[in-house]
Structure 1
């Protein structure tokens, strides 16, 4: 009761702050849609940030959307090397460069204002959309984008269901590359640092003719892993990545522009660091788990290895725990107690190949502009994961992903009535196909997960801004989406059943018999003791009798309208207030982690968010202070969460939630040589009701990856700028309150509140050609949990992925 009262006081204070700002002068902002920010240098004070949040160029301070925008210079100054690091500079945003149990070094988990997704599987969509040069990146694996030659990055908070639409229920991260220009440019960089870091980057821009220009960038980054494998001396958590982009821009006339670009990312790395926190053996094969849906029996992986697999005959009899002093057994002896060491012994591999191309055509017809964005992207990856983090083959996974996507977007922007009515019309199509082939080697059986996907998404959208008066504008918008997701799980079969040959009525093994008596049947063919009937025969959709789900394609369809409306009023030239409503949705899908059998392929339904927001944006003291504020409430229904049921996490609809919060964000330039960026975010996220299928999540469970408080401060000080050169000192601080890293709120994945500091200094020699930068990341060596996996009953373990330690770096750059 007291906590709720305190929360109400917080919202009253935030609302009072908004009223006070209106009466004096501040304001603030966030969310947006397509953002291609440019920064226009001002003669004094803060730079003006121009965005295309509503598909047209506008000052960010005049746009009634909540958005955090960073220019390319800001990204370079803050030493941001990938998209996950931008979260440290935006309130109510949590991005981790790892996905729970993925093992991939190229994956991303993003949450904005409490909405996101922890699952990386190809049958589950991310909750935050990532767009690169206007092109949607469909999968979490491959979402950890490199920041080699970036014009701007924008983080758009809240549902972007009108102008973006595709899986932007939590928000969108928009990355724009630098475009070719008509001036020659050459940049070279080399960096070294801790863990044998060696980075090389080159950028060249060539004006080929008066109408054609080319820009190319190539970047290679490598460093040793920070987690030592005690078995073989190898390391996990390393980096070995090459990325490149080539773009051509053709402007044959004042009314037509064509930009053709191609990019590639090749990574040959070890798996993400993974620390064994706890290992729990079992004296029995079957673990009985009671849920609101009944009591279920699941196999113990540790028992399977110790009694049926590699430890058979050495690790005790059934009914006994394995001896701790026997290295041939699985037990708690493999917990090192050091987050930077592991006994993992499987292949150490996270290979990733991505390439893409996109063509942007733009016709300027006076009051009308027609834009076309055509794109194709393809990725292939092989990920070897040792989930058990022991030298033995207990829980190991080889995941092969082959995916491609093709998209086409058309935009028509225009204005009428002497520019009092500005509008955007558009159409969008995305085709995505792929296959995931996932071999799982568990202590009790080997089997395949994964399958093929075939997805289509069609959308049409419209939005218009009408200036009712010189100060009041109203912007309604709506999007219609027709989406079909298909999944073929025919690959999912049990290949090895380690109970085969044991005394009893199941010569092929108890798990294969479970699959035979459940998968595709009208009802489970089980005896009164809950075990499979020895005489049952496979169903028609279970050829071979070893499929864990019916070998038939399934589909999830959604047809949704996602409206948005906002009204903004300019109290003065420096103060603008707005109110808005927006709706977003994310389609349902299918769970692919299944064992030993299901009647049908498990599915989950779409989720929805409706957000109501009030905000202010202000600039004060002759653009020396920018203060933006917002208060919002999000009603979150059919929440898609990940819970454990049996041997692996499964996507489920969790129930209904509500998220309330506020954000304060801005910049200050008290002098020409000092710039300060700051942000503060608060979230009150909780369940209003919980479905039985979400067990063990309950009404008191905390949302995964959602801190109550986030705060950030970054400062740049130009302490020298004369004929002797230019010296800039930079420092940043990021703080977030405690979080759980999974929906179940396992205590092993509870991360207490923490702060991270960084600092660097750059010296540009006279002539402005050479710049030397040195600095330290994670200055206080704070090690915090980024993700993990806990299942003590079946998998018998708890593991966590910890952040990188403190690292120093030294960079030398040359610019022609």
Structure 2
């Protein structure tokens, strides 16, 4: 059995130093700068308050990554950004779903544990102001990105749709008046061939411009599937890449007061799931002994420890590994200058088709596998009015938000295949009780047999309609002191129409047309005070609240479970922070401390009730969350830039709900206690241009992948290292890189159904190297 080794080092010095400084984060990690560039650290403008502000004077715990920083770090998709950001976890939902493009986002211990539409995200994702509602397709390409803003803590006022733990805002590059662009190709290990490019097309000066960008990723698989008897590779190999993304935008300015930005994007993926392996197989305290006795044993192929995976990339599974995604969206952003106020409308429509599956038993047997087919579409409209008053001392924004979504999830669960007909064929109940009043399954017509027919077709359609009104105002009491008040009221209705068919017995757990409906409302206030102590030191305090709507169980195995709903989550948060820029902008240091009361926590449970497997979502009581983030950027000389960050999350359950196995010492999913990052970049002028040396290191303490902290699914403390060398000749550049230099294999996801005895894990990609050539025109 393959198990990860733990790394015992701790970020003591950096963590202690940052913790002693109290404060709040915000750090922009900039790209390579030529020696003759501005000697100080460049300022970054963010729109975290729905208006342009200097990052260093924005009273929010926020990190910012510029497009150059993403390129230099080789961050090609959303799942890559977590390692460089304190208290942020970004992984794809591998072992639980088989869907490479299903994102799992967590900030300060709050996120989304399931990809189903039955569960809403705890971290909001926005691209150019458009809300992305689902984890499906969430591992999207960071194509032609101007910057990424990571907002920590509840964003219930301006980013209100379930932004309980925070929000990720992606801002794409906009069309401009100058013709130009880039084209690049990357070639590397596993026969990788990546192509991407962008071109800016001026149409009419100051009146119209267009921009088109594309990305193509192709690489061979790094995983294997083996025949147990011969040890030879069989079937399609998991872990390849085959995706294409295109984005186009058209900026129209019919007058000096009107701006219309039209955008369209499309993504297509046709690849295999990542390698998903058996970390542990329980053939004692699960249904495996019964299945082996009646199905696997008589066939001469019991499911047991022989199917434990020999390494992180190898399994003996033969089930479905397809991983398909078709996603597209269109938006129109209309901005109108009305003189004293500005009006903005963000109208968007998005559609997703996703197909993926996972062979959970990791064997050629029909013991446990699932396959999901999802169709999602959404329409959203946000209208804003913003302006200033009192000689620009008052800055305000008010608006309304409308969101409508329909998602159909068709889930084929094939669990314990063959057990139901084997029980039907027995002469009577397994415990010898009379068939007229059985107390155990077995025997033709025994009603208890139905609970073990877990070949299920679950067909569920979710509908969500959400309305919200919001407003926020900032008043400059003095030139240095400002107060901000904001609030959002949300009214949301969810409907679910479902049916669950037992395939082998051809009987319904839940009949077609069954419906359930719930409505939720919430008032989310926000208040902050900020004070500019000096021109270089900015401090703030924030009180904020956020909520995540409730919902319904997405995998009901009984009629009662199909009608079961769970309550919304609530978070009340307090933050105190500072941001400082020193030594002629050669040093920037931002830090914060936070405290949160988190209640009615939504967690997924896997239990057995009256002999029936129950996979449900329950509210798990209350927790206290506290910690800090600190980020530092230094440019002691124009050629050298250094960054460092550390995050700490202390998550303690204070009250436990109905979640079996959860204890007061349990830790949250996807949330290491410590997250640390450091990078260095040195630019060396040469006679033909410059050489840019870049390296980074990320460190995380133990991370748990399920609510009850199953040890075999957890990942011990680990470090990852990357390096890049770029030769920049002006229009041309050539870069060589190595990712995961030490070839450290890390569990990124884990999933178990204890009643069935499988414990699945998936890992990060192995060491990869490559060369990237870029041409700017």
* TM-score normalised by the chain length of structure 2: 0.89
Whether 2:524 is the aligned partner of 1:562: answer yes
- 1:495 maps to what in 2? 503
SS across alignment from 2:329: strand
User: Which whole-Å CA distance do the structure 1 matches of 2:740 and 2:518 have between them?
Assistant: 43
User: Which whole-Å CA distance do the structure 2 matches of 1:228 and 1:649 have between them?
Assistant: 30
Describe how 1:349-748 pairs up with structure 2 within 5 A.
Answer: 349-443=322-416, 444=419, 445=453, 446-490=455-499, 492-497=500-505, 546-548=508-510, 551-598=513-560, 600-646=562-608, 647=613, 649-691=615-657, 693-720=658-685, 722-748=686-712
SS across alignment from 2:648: strand
Whether 2:111 is the aligned partner of 1:116: answer yes
| Distance change in 2, residues 1:415/1:487 (3 Å) | same
8 A contact 1:574–1:619 mirrored in 2: yes
Q: What do the CA deviations read for 1:392-445 (whole angstroms, capped 9, x no partner)?
A: 111111210011000000111100110011101011011000201111111233
User: Which whole-Å CA distance do the structure 2 matches of 1:629 and 1:708 have between them?
Assistant: 17
SS across alignment from 1:493: strand
SS across alignment from 2:504: strand
Structure 1 residue 224, shift from structure 2 partner: 1.6
User: Which whole-Å CA distance do the structure 1 matches of 2:683 and 2:225 have between them?
Assistant: 43
Structure 1 residue 371, shift from structure 2 partner: 0.6
| Distance change in 2, residues 1:426/1:773 (3 Å) | same
SS across alignment from 1:634: strand
- 2:745 maps to what in 1? 783
Q: What do the CA deviations read for 1:105-127 (whole angstroms, capped 9, x no partner)?
A: 11111110111121111110111
Q: Unpaired segments of 5 or more residues in structure 1?
A: 1-8, 19-26, 288-298, 316-327, 498-511, 513-544
SS across alignment from 1:489: strand
Structure 1 residue 202, shift from structure 2 partner: 2.2
Question: Quick one: which of 728, 749, 758 aligns to 2:713?
Answer: 749
Question: Quick one: which of 87, 109, 114 aligns to 1:92?
Answer: 87
User: Which whole-Å CA distance do the structure 1 matches of 2:104 and 2:463 have between them?
Assistant: 23
Describe how 1:26-65 pairs up with structure 2 within 5 A.
Answer: 28-30=24-26, 43-65=38-60
| Distance change in 2, residues 1:567/1:485 (3 Å) | same
User: Which whole-Å CA distance do the structure 1 matches of 2:614 and 2:365 have between them?
Assistant: 19
SS across alignment from 2:204: coil
8 A contact 2:509–2:557 mirrored in 1: no
Question: Quick one: which of 712, 722, 733 aligns to 1:758?
Answer: 722
SS across alignment from 2:80: helix
Q: Judge which range, 751-760 or 99-108, deviates more.
A: 99-108
Q: Unpaired segments of 5 or more residues in structure 2?
A: 1-12, 228-233, 420-452
User: Which whole-Å CA distance do the structure 2 matches of 1:565 and 1:141 have between them?
Assistant: 33
SS across alignment from 1:739: coil
| Distance change in 2, residues 1:89/1:549 (3 Å) | farther
8 A contact 2:557–2:615 mirrored in 1: no
Structure 1 residue 756, shift from structure 2 partner: 0.7
Question: Quick one: which of 761, 765, 772 aligns to 1:804?
Answer: 765
SS across alignment from 1:751: coil
8 A contact 1:403–1:435 mirrored in 2: yes
| Distance change in 2, residues 1:678/1:553 (3 Å) | same
Q: What do the CA deviations read for 1:47-67 (whole angstroms, capped 9, x no partner)?
A: 001111211111111111111
- 2:263 maps to what in 1? 261
Structure 1 residue 707, shift from structure 2 partner: 0.8
Whether 2:163 is the aligned partner of 1:168: answer yes
- 2:178 maps to what in 1? 183
8 A contact 2:98–2:321 mirrored in 1: no
- 1:83 maps to what in 2? 78
- 1:219 maps to what in 2? 215
Whether 2:290 is the aligned partner of 1:303: answer yes
- 1:321 maps to what in 2? none
User: Which whole-Å CA distance do the structure 2 matches of 1:12 and 1:89 have between them?
Assistant: 19
User: Which whole-Å CA distance do the structure 1 matches of 2:37 and 2:63 have between them?
Assistant: 19
8 A contact 2:367–2:414 mirrored in 1: yes
SS across alignment from 1:236: coil
- 1:235 maps to what in 2? 237
Structure 1 residue 43, shift from structure 2 partner: 2.8
Q: Judge which range, 99-108 or 449-458, deviates more.
A: 99-108
8 A contact 1:99–1:109 mirrored in 2: no
- 1:529 maps to what in 2? none
| Distance change in 2, residues 1:648/1:737 (3 Å) | farther
User: Which whole-Å CA distance do the structure 2 matches of 1:422 and 1:432 have between them?
Assistant: 33
User: Which whole-Å CA distance do the structure 2 matches of 1:798 and 1:454 have between them?
Assistant: 33
Structure 1 residue 281, shift from structure 2 partner: 2.6
User: Which whole-Å CA distance do the structure 1 matches of 2:575 and 2:629 have between them?
Assistant: 11
- 1:281 maps to what in 2? 283
Structure 1 residue 280, shift from structure 2 partner: 2.5
8 A contact 1:237–1:270 mirrored in 2: yes
User: Which whole-Å CA distance do the structure 2 matches of 1:172 and 1:549 have between them?
Assistant: 39
User: Which whole-Å CA distance do the structure 2 matches of 1:166 and 1:660 have between them?
Assistant: 23
8 A contact 1:550–1:601 mirrored in 2: no
Structure 1 residue 449, shift from structure 2 partner: 2.1
The aligned length equals 716
8 A contact 1:100–1:120 mirrored in 2: no
- 1:537 maps to what in 2? none
Structure 1 residue 234, shift from structure 2 partner: 2.4
Structure 1 residue 701, shift from structure 2 partner: 1.2
User: Which whole-Å CA distance do the structure 1 matches of 2:623 and 2:37 have between them?
Assistant: 44
| Distance change in 2, residues 1:698/1:481 (3 Å) | same
SS across alignment from 1:234: coil
8 A contact 1:701–1:744 mirrored in 2: yes
Describe how 1:298-337 pairs up with structure 2 within 5 A.
Answer: 300=287, 303-304=290-291, 306-309=292-295, 311=296, 313-315=298-300, 328-337=301-310
User: Which whole-Å CA distance do the structure 1 matches of 2:355 and 2:700 have between them?
Assistant: 33
User: Which whole-Å CA distance do the structure 2 matches of 1:276 and 1:141 have between them?
Assistant: 24
Q: What do the CA deviations read for 1:156-208 (whole angstroms, capped 9, x no partner)?
A: 00000000110110100111111111111131111111111111112111101
8 A contact 1:302–1:796 mirrored in 2: no
| Distance change in 2, residues 1:549/1:642 (3 Å) | farther
User: Which whole-Å CA distance do the structure 1 matches of 2:329 and 2:672 have between them?
Assistant: 35
8 A contact 2:553–2:565 mirrored in 1: yes
Whether 2:29 is the aligned partner of 1:17: answer no
| Distance change in 2, residues 1:771/1:591 (3 Å) | same
- 1:323 maps to what in 2? none
